Structure 1
Amino acid sequence: MTANKKRKQQARTLRIFRKVHRYTGAFLFIFFFFISVSGLLLGWKKDSKGIILPPSYQGSTAELKDWLPLDSLHQKAVLILKDSVSPTLSSKIDRIDVRKEKGMVKFIFEDHYYGIQLDGATGELLNIGKRHSDLIENIHDGSVLDNYFGTSGWIKLLYTSVTGIALLTFTITGFWLWYGPKRMRKAKQQ
């Protein structure tokens, strides 16, 4: 292949990569906007002074033998949720976060973003907090759409697949848009 023909082929490849890069970026702009903003907020959640994620409070003892049974703590958390937040909120638990070293237990509910922290030994309320970080996380990974439409995770799977493949495409085409002209200039100088 002659040098001129090779350079034309490289230029054609570069134009294709530029077009793929441009159209993919325009098409997925809104997705990348939400992913980047939510990712930034998630990176700051523990340093947000309780705005994004309520701080973890200290209970009275880290000795598990002195703690109330988990079932009793769960019943107290549900009672506090109904009495202090709203009697209409679901008491379905998403997860229970036991913080032995802090002497406390967090009850995180599934159908809303409230969390209740109790002293593991006394069952005393340490904190009722809105967990904005869980909402931000659901936006970040696309599961907020599954929750809204009541689907079983396929929207999240599609969302993460499309955005992951797009990020890979941007990486490859972006590298080529940077490296391709350098390669062409180097070949031209030889």
Structure 2
Amino acid sequence: MSIKNKRQKQAKLLRIFRKIHRKTGAFLFLFFFFISVSGLLLGWKKHSNGLILSKSYTGTSTNLKNWLPIDSLHKNACKILHDSVSPKLSSKIDRIDIRKNKGMVKFVFEDHYWSIQLDGATGKLLHIGQRRSDFIENIHDGSILDKYFETSDGQIKLIYTSIMGFALISFTITGFWLWYGPKRMRKKQPLKVLSNYK
């Protein structure tokens, strides 16, 4: 293959990659924006002074022997949720975080973004918090749409993360070639011999 044909082939490949890069970026611009902003916020959550991630409060005893039964703590957390936030909120539990070293237990609810921190020994309220970091994380990975549409097995999250993952791979490959392709073409360009000497 002649040098001219090689250069034409490389130029055509560059045009294709540029087109893929441009169209993918234009089509998924909004999603990339949400991913970048939510990712930035999640990276800063522990340094947000409690704005994104609630501080973990300290109870009176780190000895589990002194703690109330989990069932009693759970009932107390649900009562506080309904009395202090709203009686209409679901008390269905997503998880229970036991922080033995802090003498605290945190109840995280499934159907909304509220959490209750209780003293493990006394059952007294330490903190009522909104789980903003969980909300941001749900936006970041697309699972907020699974919550909204009540899908059975996180299908929207799977499709969303697959599309965005392949798009990022495509961006990486095409972006690298858009940078490297012209350099490669210039490197392979034959030197012009100037014969102006008499």
Secondary structure of the residue aligned to 2:156 is helix
Equivalences for residues 1-190 of structure 1 within 5 A: 1-152=1-152, 153-189=154-190
Secondary structure of the residue aligned to 1:118 is strand
Secondary structure of the residue aligned to 1:62 is coil
Deviations 1:9-55 (A, max 9, x none): 11110110000000000000010011111111111111111111211
More helix by share: 1
Amino acid at match of 1:76: N
Deviations 1:100-141 (A, max 9, x none): 111101101011100100011111110001111111111001
Counterpart CA distance in 2 for 1:45 and 1:129 is 14
Amino acid at match of 1:168: I
Counterpart CA distance in 2 for 1:99 and 1:186 is 61
Secondary structure of the residue aligned to 2:175 is helix
Counterpart CA distance in 2 for 1:189 and 1:105 is 72
Greater C-alpha radius of gyration: 2
Give the superposition deviation at 1:83. 0.8
Amino acid at match of 1:9: K
Secondary structure of the residue aligned to 1:87 is coil
Counterpart CA distance in 2 for 1:100 and 1:173 is 50
Output the TM-score relative to the length of structure 1.
0.97
Amino acid at match of 1:178: W
Secondary structure of the residue aligned to 1:61 is coil
Supply the RMSD in Å over aligned alpha carbons.
1.0
| Divergent runs of 4+, >6 A | none
Secondary structure of the residue aligned to 1:7 is helix
Aligned-pair identity (%): 72
Give the superposition deviation at 1:189. 4.5
Report how many residues are paired.
190
Secondary structure of the residue aligned to 1:108 is strand
Counterpart CA distance in 2 for 1:86 and 1:189 is 76
Secondary structure of the residue aligned to 2:97 is strand
Give the superposition deviation at 1:63. 1.3
Counterpart CA distance in 1 for 2:98 and 2:177 is 49
Give the superposition deviation at 1:178. 0.8
Secondary structure of the residue aligned to 1:80 is helix
Deviations 1:125-171 (A, max 9, x none): 10001111111111001011111111121111111010010001001
